[in-house]
A and B are shown apart, each in its own frame.
Chain A
Amino acid sequence: MNIYSCFDLNTADNFCQRLIKLSRKYADFRKALTDTRLHEIICLYIYSLETFTLDVQTLQDMARQIRLDDLKTVYRAKAGHIGGEMSAIDILTTLYFHTLNIDPTQPNKPTRDRFILSKGHTACALYTTLAHRGFIELDELSTFLQPHSRLNGHPNRNKVPGVETNTGALGHGLPIGIGMAKAAQLSGEGWRVFVLCGDGELQEGSNWEAAMAAAHFKLDNLTLIVDHNRLQQGARVHDTNALAPIADKFAAFGWATTAVDGHDIAQLREAFDKRSATAGQPTCIVANTFKGQGISFMQDKVEWHHKVPNKEQYEQAVEELQAAM
């Protein structure tokens, strides 16, 4: 399976004509053509079609590619938060390649959908996703964590196009998301706001201040996705400060709630497509995930929160991810 098998190529002529037309619009096309990076050309083309929807298989392939590139980037930098990155990548892929109304050529377009990575320590997964989506160059991933790289260990809005707010301290994303959703409500605009937080992150009290306000303000344009991998830095969430039942807590705070398999892109796509289950209610999607998803020896292991694979582990991980592609 490859990225362009999903692409409706009626005829080669048709494709070329469209490509030429678009190349006038996007300088990136011409650059990509000279680089003969067909993969990127096709991707750019696909995303330029407003009505185009990637099928689940293509999204899965993209998620695998992002996993692989994230792994390579962390291995090269010798730092990162690989466990939580692997748990979030299917969510990020579905958002950036299916759900979000965004345009890499206009990252600050006023009516864009907003996404906040509240679990900012998984910045590498965001950068890798943004690179595949065309916000930054894929080559730039090699600068991750290097001196003066704009790809800091936590995302920076003022440096990286596509980042909405500077996260890193936990429990900050949801309040900001409420402000963004409230701004849309006040302006009568239709943009949606998605916040991705960790489950352990919900131990921060600011989230619950925000949870009350979101329901009170009837922000049905706001979706909180909880990356429920059940592990936090030091131990299992359950053994640290048990949060269960997460969905029931949000329901009690006045939210519409749903639970999905956070690695099932079909489920994620369907859950994200719904503006809200109930008009006037914000939505909390509890995405059941595994830390280290996709790499057997990392999966569901506390120690892989921010451990870096050694050479043998790296090679095995690459092999496993490539085998799945």
Chain B
Amino acid sequence: MSAVEQRPAYDWEHARIGDVAGAVTVEITADAVRQFNTTQQQAAGLPIEPDDPDLLAVPPVMVRVFAPLRRRELVAENGAEYPNHPTPAIRWSCRFFNEPKVGDRIVSVTRVQDKYIRKDRHFLEWRVDANRNDGTPVAEFTYVNLWDRGRAEDRNR
């Protein structure tokens, strides 16, 4: 059996509050912001003007791009295997301190903030702290995932 096969599954019992992934740095580029905004404006049927400065305004959800959640990396860094089933999002809470701008280099760290059971379902809560590389805080967010395989009735939801 290889070393990979011997890794334990990162199931709810295995996860520990405080598990952390090493910091990662991502630069916010104009191309990425323009592409993100154009894609979503088109999908929403909202107007797009090529010279609109709003196309280079960093939308809140792009925090997920420049401060990625990195669950799989965290699991790997903690010597485990990521679950072999989807882990649906249940809640996303984000607080912004300073507006992210094109050109910012964002340093972020992901950790397991909490684990809990509600109505016999198991949840993991992740936290990501995102700062500019000079230490200025940009945002912090928590993201809750269902960590179970789901139930038969979920197929009808």
Q: A and B: real partners?
A: no
- Chain A interface residues (CB < 8 Å from chain B): none
- Chain B interface residues (CB < 8 Å from chain A): none
